[in-house]
Amino acid sequence: MIFNSIQFIIFLPIVVILYYLLPFKYRWILLLAASYYFYLCWNVNYIVLLLSSTIIDYVCAIMMDRYHNKRSKLLFLWISAFSNFGMLFTFKYYNFFIDSINYSLNFFSIGSPIPFIEVLLPVGISFYIFQTFSYVVDVYQGTQKAEKHFGYFALYVTYFPQLVAGPIERYTSLAPQLQTKHTFEYKNLANGLRLVLFGLFIKMVIADNLCLYVDRFYKDPALFNSLTAWKIMILYSFQIYSDFHGYSTVAIGSALMMGVHLMDNFRTPYLSKSIGEFWQRWHISLSTWFRDYLYLPLGGNKVRYSRWAFNIFIVFAVSGLWHGANWTFVIWGCLYGILYIVEKKINTIIHWNSKQNASNLINVFLILKNFLLVSLIWVLFRSQNLSQAKTVFLGLINPNKIGDDIILEWQIVILFSIFLFLDYILYNTRFDIWIDTKPSFVRWLIYGILILSVIAFTGTENFPFIYFQF
């Protein structure tokens, strides 16, 4: 089941109504059943992986609590890590590594190629494995007690609003809310509906309409001229942003309708003045996960400069690999690591801090500079392989290139402009909070515009969310 479907529009109100009608002691059963049904609508077979990860980590955490010596706890941590990341490797990365090995074998004319396995990538596997493994690590470190109630733990792993594409929640944040008796509050319902509406608008109206142009270009980038390559590069930057931001916003709104507060996953990232700030505003739940469970265990910044640079590079490289089993993603992550290190070094040399009170002109320059760098790196993210990425980059730097042009329709330009305006005014705030401060007439006018836009500019084709592939 996906958020931008009639099925979900029917499913969500039913769950919310039953949630408040049921006695508190039965609500977890409703949410757990709804969450499994939500996932089963995608593929029945892969529910086994979700259940396996849940059971293994539940048992490992219980055993850690039972055995207090560090050696035994470490054993169960490794069992959890091997099981979870073994599943992730098998279903997401096995063919990628085999392809790389086969390429090397063929290059050196050694042996025969290793066969691939035909598997479908389970939707959301990277998200729920990261979420459940963070719980195990917290229990191992002693910052979290093991959950004895299997149903509550399973609900934490499978909670449907954020199951397949985040935000990646910590147990200490999400689980207590799922175990709390929430009474009906109009404010939560109203703000939740506002977020769901806004999320569907930026996904179905902005992202899906931009997708038509981007997909057309990437079918064969060599056919198009340089101007089109630049236009598509910019459009894809906003397509992936509005697509993933739309999902996260609907997820946050859906949970809020039942009194559960999920973390904000985006905070106007394209208004960032540096690469570091960008990653503080983009996919925040993943960035903080890597900070807490990879960067800090590697030593963080409490080490010499060369080791710190190594830590940063590893974090970004692994982040790239997390996004996809393709060298384009790995290089995408490595480039961010290099840019982050270089940026920090430059700031050290010239003593520049982007948070200083700079002039508006300097701030605009820094924002545009950062957006250009991010957009260029997105080319790798969108390209199917390195060869296609090379074609796009060559098209960008060849102004004399002759080819077809993609003309944007005026409706798309207007809707795109509305989205840019909304993103600007939501700097350091959120749509539901911002609109709640407006007069009733203004609020309902905006609701009307968003609803009419969804009705008028949503096509018959249902585009899946981009981050479902991760």
Residue 357 pLDDT > 60, yes or no?
Answer: no
With cut-offs at 50, 70 and 90, classify the pLDDT of residue 464. confident
pLDDT confidence of residue 459: 67
Clarify whether 323 is annotated catalytic.
Answer: yes
Segment 298-302 shows an average pLDDT of 90
Q: What is the dihedral of CA 456, 457, 458, 459, to 10 degrees?
A: 100
> What digits encode the pLDDT tens for the residues 371-408?
999 999 999 999 999 999 999 999 999 887 778 888 87
Are 226 and 396 a contacting pair, CB within 8 Å? yes
- As beta bridge partners, residue 404 has 224
With cut-offs at 50, 70 and 90, classify the pLDDT of residue 353. low
pLDDT confidence of residue 158: 94
Question: Which 3 state secondary structure label does DSSP give 251?
Answer: helix
Residue 236 pLDDT > 90, yes or no?
Answer: yes
Question: What are the backbone dihedrals phi and psi of residue 64, each rounded to the nearest 5 degrees, phi first?
Answer: -65, -40
Please state, rounded to an integer, the average pLDDT across all residues of the chain. 90
- Reference 311, options 277, 289, 337; nearest CA is 337
- From the candidates 149, 283, 323, 351, which is the catalytic residue? 323
> What digits encode the pLDDT tens for the residues 178-202?
999 999 999 999 999 999 999 999 9
| Residue ranges per structural domain of the chain | 6-183, 187-273+354-469
Range of lowest pLDDT (143-152, 155-164, 393-402): 393-402
Handedness of CA 437, 439, 440, 444 (dihedral sign): negative
Give me 46's structure tokens. Answer: 């892969």
List C-alpha distances in Å: 309 to 297, 302, 341, 344, 364: 14, 11, 6, 10, 28
pLDDT confidence of residue 298: 93
> What digits encode the pLDDT tens for the residues 5-40?
889 999 999 999 999 999 999 999 999 999 999 999
Q: How far apart are CA 237 and CA 245, in angstroms?
A: 12
Question: What are the backbone dihedrals phi and psi of residue 393, each rounded to the nearest 5 degrees, phi first?
Answer: -60, -40
Q: How far apart are CA 264 and CA 6, in angstroms?
A: 25
Question: Which 3 state secondary structure label does DSSP give 304?
Answer: coil
Handedness of CA 351, 342, 268, 406 (dihedral sign): positive
> What digits encode the pLDDT tens for the residues 54-85?
999 999 999 998 887 888 899 999 999 999 99
Helix axes 171-178, 150-158, angle to 10 degrees: 120
With cut-offs at 50, 70 and 90, classify the pLDDT of residue 352. low
Segment 214-243 shows an average pLDDT of 93
List C-alpha distances in Å: 46 to 91, 101, 119, 255: 11, 28, 11, 24
